[in-house]
Amino acid sequence: MSEEKGKILTPGFRQGKEPTKKRMKNDLEHKVDGLLEFNKGIQKAFSSIVGKLTELESSVTMAFGYHDLVSLSIKDLLNEELGITEEKWNAAVEKISKMLNKKKEAEFDLKEGFKTVDRVVVDGDFVAFGFDGTVDGESFEGGSSNWTIVQAGRTQVLEDMDKSFIGKKAKDEYEVDVKFPDEYPMQKALEGKTATFKVKVIAVKEKIETPKLEVVPEEK
């Protein structure tokens, strides 16, 4: 058998270096053990969600990262395997949304030169807000967002929405009826209709005034 070993060629291996059955078996067992440990790691991460809502950001983010490795959706997996209730799931999603909004705000402020102010909205302020709109009780395309920003009083949104910002402050939640124009090419199905929006003000911002530098000519 040893004489024949060097004569048998296995694709991917040099002559005489073909893996033995024992080595292949050991490699397979090693991989299976690794997968079992990997599975235990995932289960441990999921288990940490229960009763630890303060750690949900990292736990659920990791769970979404492994989404393609499981046959069930993350939500179904939590419900069926760990008994996570709809209420806890929604609380987790809301908490993660707040975390992402906060990160988005910080990045936006740094890039665009804004600062957050603790007061009510006045004309010219920038308003970061989330909204969820319906027409006749039905959602519509483009009718919701977790975070967007506009300048109040500059008609960057429909007039009824624009006016609703004035006097509001961060964390205010309210409903406003917004009438679409009779001609609305972006979504003709909404022309002339009235939508009801649930609005949540996330932050009030103003532009940071950058002082102009006076250039003094060098003395000769």
Q: Which CATH number is 197's domain given?
A: 3.10.50.40
Domain count, the chain: 2
Tell me what the mean pLDDT of segment 192-216 comes to. 83
CB burial of 24-59 (b: ≥16 within 10 Å; e: otherwise) equals eeeeeeeeeeeeeeeeeeeeebbeebeeeeeebeeb
Is 130 within the bounds of a domain?
yes
Is 27 within the bounds of a domain?
yes
More confident: 113 or 19: 113
Query: Range with the lowest mean pLDDT among 23-37, 49-63, 104-118?
Result: 49-63
Is 213 within the bounds of a domain?
no
Is 43 within the bounds of a domain?
yes
Q: How confident is the model at residue 216 (pLDDT cuts 50, 70, 90)?
A: low
**Domain residues for 152?**
114-207
Same domain, yes or no: 147 and 71: no
Is 39 within the bounds of a domain?
yes
Same domain, yes or no: 122 and 202: yes
Among residues 87, 102, 133, the one where a domain terminates is 87
Query: Range with the lowest mean pLDDT among 52-66, 97-111, 132-146, 193-207?
Result: 52-66
Global confidence as pTM: 0.53
Question: Can you tell me whether residue 157 is helix, strand or coil?
Answer: coil
Is 101 within the bounds of a domain?
no
Among residues 68, 87, 106, the one where a domain terminates is 87
Check pLDDT > 50 for residue 181.
yes
- Cβ neighbour number for residue 11 with a 10 Å cutoff: 5
Length of the chain: 220
Q: Report the relative pairing of strands 194-207 and 126-135 from DSSP bridges.
A: antiparallel
Task: Quote the strand ranges of 15-110, DSSP E.
Answer: none
- Cβ neighbour number for residue 133 with a 10 Å cutoff: 21
Q: Taking all residues of the chain, what is their mean pLDDT, rounded to a whole number?
A: 74
